[in-house]
A and B are shown apart, each in its own frame.
Chain A
Amino acid sequence: DSGVTQTPKHLITATGQRVTLRCSPRSGDLSVYWYQQSLDQGLQFLIQYYNGEERAKGNILERFSAQQFPDLHSELNLSSLELGDSALYFCASSKTPGTGGEKLFFGSGTQLSVL
């Protein structure tokens, strides 16, 4: 158990809908990362927050947004969903934002299926 909790584990929805994925980082970790894993694109970095502020942005679509709350949990909002958004979404956490050798702790992911 990595200590990172993601909910829900599975989500099935229809095109055009909006969903929210939730992540609770490990106790004491201030940084949260979101990744999208699909069969054809591998693991794609979406966005990172550190202590409530956006720290780095990757290949995140404008239809997607995220935030990190004062209690350090994070939510990833996906709107106007398309079939191609079906993927496994991972959250990861770390203590600090910038230590080179620091590792990430991953949650078990949310499997999103857009029908």
Chain B
Amino acid sequence: GNSVTQMEGPVTLSEEAFLTINCTYTATGYPSLFWYVQYPGEGLQLLLKATKADDKGSNKGFEATYRKETTSFHLEKGSVQVSDSAVYFCALRANTGNQFYFGTGTSLTVIP
């Protein structure tokens, strides 16, 4: 079946620290992979995506590379800001069927 596993939080970092949030997946076929972000009191919004192996998604300084050999899509940012404090969700959409599968979310708090 399809599933997403992401590292548990919460994660607390100082401003300008390096961020990695691990995400691995299980899927039949060749899924598309996404990172969504949820700021306090808001719905989820797309942060970045990759639709095929070796693709790199990037946005707002965040990036993630679709690694088929390790079935991973780790989220990274070189220097986090207080405004990056949010919950981050890794997700996949299988190429058959219509469902998105989300990880449980990782809460990030960045302190000044």
Interface residues of A (CB under 8 A from B): 2, 4, 31, 33, 35, 41-43, 45, 48, 50, 55-56, 58, 90, 92, 97-98, 100-109
Q: In the complex, are the beta carbons of A42 and B105 less than 8 A apart?
A: yes
* Whole-angstrom CA separation of A105 from B44 in the bound complex: 8
- Answer whether residue B99 sits at the interface, using C-beta atoms and an 8 A cutoff: yes
Q: Choose the segment among B13-21, B45-53, B74-82 that binds chain A (4+ C-beta atoms closer than 8 Å).
A: B45-53
Chain A residues whose CB sits within 8 angstroms of the CB of B43 once the complex forms: 2, 4, 90, 92, 106-109
Count how many chain B residues have C-beta atoms less than 8 Å from C-beta atoms of the other chain.
25
Q: In the complex, are the beta carbons of B100 and A106 less than 8 A apart?
A: no
Q: Which of A92, A100, A104 contacts B95 (CB 8 A)?
A: A100
Given contacts A42-B105, A100-B32, A108-B41, contact A58 B46 (CB under 8 A): no
Interface residues of B (CB under 8 A from A): 31-32, 34, 36, 41-46, 49, 51, 89, 93-95, 97-105
Query: What is the CB-to-nearest-CB distance from A79 to chain B, in angstroms, rounded to a whole number?
Result: 24
Q: Which of B34, B45, B89 contacts A2 (CB 8 A)?
A: B45
What 3 pairs between A and B have smallest CB-CB spacing? A42-B104, A106-B43, A101-B51
Given contacts A90-B44, A106-B44, contact A48 B104 (CB under 8 A): no
Chain B residues whose CB sits within 8 angstroms of the CB of A48 once the complex forms: 98-99
* Whole-angstrom CA separation of A103 from B91 in the bound complex: 10
* Whole-angstrom CA separation of A2 from B44 in the bound complex: 9
* Whole-angstrom CA separation of A108 from B45 in the bound complex: 10
